[in-house]
């Protein structure tokens, strides 16, 4: 009976912990409190409380669940999987029916149709709970950062990149965006956002983080990380800050190789760990461990996701993190697959202190991978106490998010199922009001953030004051959202300029344009009085570098708008007027027109340095 005794002791410890914090039904420690359940009314209609008395938080049932679940079922809570498309497959259904998965990760392959997503999340939850035994509901998660990484396209609101939030410097914006995102995700039954990116992006050569980061200043990233977490969780969606202990200062993408960060521990404390400490304080439901090697801390020589020094020693020990530690994908990133292999990687991750392992792309192999972990437990490679601790953390998160249905009663009665165990997993349309997906108020917020992020780095030509007959040529990004209004403009950028100067034409160029396309742009520019050249990471593409340099040397006013990392000036230092926009979505582009003509002030400040030219914090005013 030692396992049962351990579970009871753990239940007591959890109860004490919960009573000492803000309670399991809010957003977690440090966050804005969520809705609290009302105490049951007394016979006379009162609450049974003395005036001014705070309602007692509900008693945790995590200990009861730990006693109830078998070892095999506890292990299942630690395994989160993916789906190949928009249907619940027979293999996934069987996995859920056997209690071998505790969560599901959505990607772009699940589509963006709200009704399809609602049906799929409802099918998943039904499959997870349609067992003869009581079973926790599923965590259903998605990468919904905004900007470059947002799996759900329209009609969901398309949010500006995190770096745009960094350029505004506004924690209020970060919280508002987190809240709005949460409302849209819950409307389709998604209850975890694999965000925010808490990486400090201080390496201009970083190939994978870029505008996904809030910026290069640890204090700024920490403030916005905490606010974003609080916004998500105040609306009932779990946050998962990533990629611990920091993927910002690397020139290697962990999708393709293992990044190694050579800095000492003092530097780690002063830079990379600052936002993750803020995430711990903010009560982030989850923290995602990256496949990144920090030799100064990981004496075992393993990436953070597999390192006991990093996960158990640093994150859970020194930083005191009590939430759920999840890994980045274990089955699709060469930092793991090419070095350890998926099977061994899973075992090492759980050994090291990961509470959840993600295998979102192992379709049809999930049962075998689960079997690898179970065998490792039976062989003693993974202690049962490690499974117990990890399951307790996952169950505590699920309790907080309403994912624990009633257990059988003490007399052994049947499990009482509720019609819908997840408040945010509707079987039809969203309950309680208008559909929040793509709501006008959300789009207005996205546009406001994008406009306020615009940063005037250099200025020799603004505000523009062209004659009515002067042609303004816009060279826009071909990969931006196309509007094709039939009036000579293609993107939201062209539309924002034409609205204020009717004689505007727009052409678009690819990231790596053909010689024919470059020649056409050159010819049209020769006829223009002003050229507005918008480009994503143009400094990385010789075709754009050459054309920008040629147009600037031609003598006409050229305004360059950087739509990625703001580094075009490093390749073409002759650019006299430069605006950093941090993304190519409509929200990034709509505010450019008013700024060009002095109808709006540039409010953004560089959240990263432009190497050799400007420090973070630079931003000019028009007037």
Q: Could you give the CA distance from residue 518 to residue 544 in angstroms, rounded to a whole number?
A: 8
CA atoms within 13 A on the CB side of 196: 40
**What is d(CA 101, CA 78) in angstroms, rounded to the nearest whole number?**
7
From the CB of residue 414, how many other CB atoms can be counted at a distance below 10 Å? 9
Residues 6+ apart with CB under 8 A from 50: none
Give the Cβ contact number of residue 131 at 10 Å: 15
CB-based contacts of 165, cutoff 8 Å, min separation 6: 146, 173, 174, 177, 214, 224, 228, 449, 453
Q: Which of 64, 113, 255, 461 is catalytic?
A: 255
Q: Specify whether the backbone of 23 is left (phi greater than 0), alpha (psi in -120 to 50) or beta.
A: left
* Residue 255 annotated as catalytic: yes
Contact 493, 592 (CB under 8 A): yes
Determine which one of 249, 285, 328, 584 is catalytic: 328
- Concerning whether 584 is annotated as a catalytic residue, the answer is no
Q: Is 37 exposed, middle or buried (0-12, 13-18, 19+ CB in 10 A)?
A: exposed
Give residues with Cβ within 8 angstroms of 180, minimum separation 6: 157, 231, 436, 439, 441, 442, 445
Distance between CA atoms of 463 and 452, rounded to whole angstroms? 17
Say if CB 423 and CB 402 are below 8 A apart: yes
CA angle 576, 578, 583 (to 5 degrees): 160
**Burial environment of residue 127 by CB neighbours within 10 A (0 to 12, 13 to 18, 19 or more):** buried
**C-alpha span between 160 and 587 (Å, rounded):** 6
User: Which residues are identified as catalytic?
Assistant: 255, 328
């Amino acid at each position: 009976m030692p396992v049962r005794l351990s579970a009871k002791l753990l239940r007591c410890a959890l109860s004490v912990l919960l009573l000492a914090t803000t309670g399991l039904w809010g957003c977690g420690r440090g966050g804005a409190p969520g809705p609290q359940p009302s105490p049951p009314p007394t016979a006379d209609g009162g609450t049974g409380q003395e005036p001014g008395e705070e309602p007692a938080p509900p008693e945790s049932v995590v200990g009861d669940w730990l006693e109830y679940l078998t070892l095999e079922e506890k292990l299942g809570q630690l395994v989160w999987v993916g789906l190949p498309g928009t249907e619940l497959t027979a293999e996934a259904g069987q996995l859920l029916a056997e209690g071998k998965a505790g969560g599901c990760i959505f990607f772009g392959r699940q589509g963006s149709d709200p009704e399809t997503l609602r049906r799929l999340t409802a099918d998943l939850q039904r499959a997870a709970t349609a067992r003869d035994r009581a079973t926790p509901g599923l965590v259903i998660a998605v990468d919904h950062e905004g900007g470059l990484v947002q799996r759900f396209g329209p009609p969901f609101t398309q949010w500006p990149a995190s770096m745009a939030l960094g350029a505004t410097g506004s924690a209020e914006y970060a919280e508002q965006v987190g809240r709005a995102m949460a409302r849209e995700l819950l409307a389709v039954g998604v209850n975890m956002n694999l965000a925010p990116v808490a990486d400090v992006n201080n390496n201009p050569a970083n190939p994978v983080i870029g505008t996904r980061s809030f910026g290069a200043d640890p204090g700024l990233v920490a403030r916005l990380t905490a606010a974003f977490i609080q916004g998500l969780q105040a609306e009932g969606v779990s946050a998962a800050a990533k990629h611990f202990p920091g993927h910002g200062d690397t020139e290697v993408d962990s999708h393709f190789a293992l990044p190694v960060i050579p800095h000492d521990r003092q530097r780690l404390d002063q830079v990379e760990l600052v936002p993750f400490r803020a995430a711990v304080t903010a009560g982030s439901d989850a923290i995602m461990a990256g496949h990144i090697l920090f030799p100064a801390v990981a004496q075992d020589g393993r990436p953070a996701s597999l390192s006991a020094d990093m996960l158990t020693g640093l994150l859970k020990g020194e930083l005191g993190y009590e939430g759920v530690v999840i890994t980045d994908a274990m089955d699709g990133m060469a930092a793991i697959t090419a070095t350890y292999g998926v099977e061994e990687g899973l075992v090492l991750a759980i050994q090291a202190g990961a509470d959840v392992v993600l295998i979102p792309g192992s379709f049809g192999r999930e049962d075998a991978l689960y079997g690898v972990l179970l065998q490792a437990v039976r062989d003693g490679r993974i202690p049962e106490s490690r499974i117990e601790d990890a399951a307790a953390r996952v169950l505590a998160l699920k309790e907080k998010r309403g994912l624990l249905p009633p257990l059988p009663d003490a007399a052994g009665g049947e499990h009482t199922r509720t019609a819908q165990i997840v408040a945010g997993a509707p079987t039809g349309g969203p309950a309680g009001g208008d559909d929040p997906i793509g709501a006008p108020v959300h789009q207005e917020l996205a546009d406001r953030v994008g406009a306020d992020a615009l940063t005037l780095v250099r200025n020799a030509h603004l505000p523009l004051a062209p004659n009515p007959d002067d042609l303004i040529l816009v060279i826009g990004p071909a990969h931006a959202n196309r509007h094709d209004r039939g009036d000579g403009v293609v993107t939201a950028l062209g539309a924002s300029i034409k609205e204020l100067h009717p004689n505007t034409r727009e052409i678009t160029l690819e990231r790596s344009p053909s010689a024919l396309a470059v020649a056409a742009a050159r010819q049209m520019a020769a006829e223009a009085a002003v050229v507005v050249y918008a480009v994503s990471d143009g400094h990385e593409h010789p075709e754009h570098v050459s054309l920008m340099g040629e147009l600037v040397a031609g003598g006409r006013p050229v305004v360059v708008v950087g739509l990625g990392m703001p580094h075009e000036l490093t390749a073409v230092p002759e650019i006299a007027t430069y605006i950093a926009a941090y993304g190519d979505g409509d929200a990034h582009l709509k505010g450019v027109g008013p700024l060009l003509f002095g109808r709006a002030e540039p409010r953004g400040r560089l959240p990263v340095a432009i190497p050799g030219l400007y420090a973070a914090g630079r931003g000019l005013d028009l007037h």
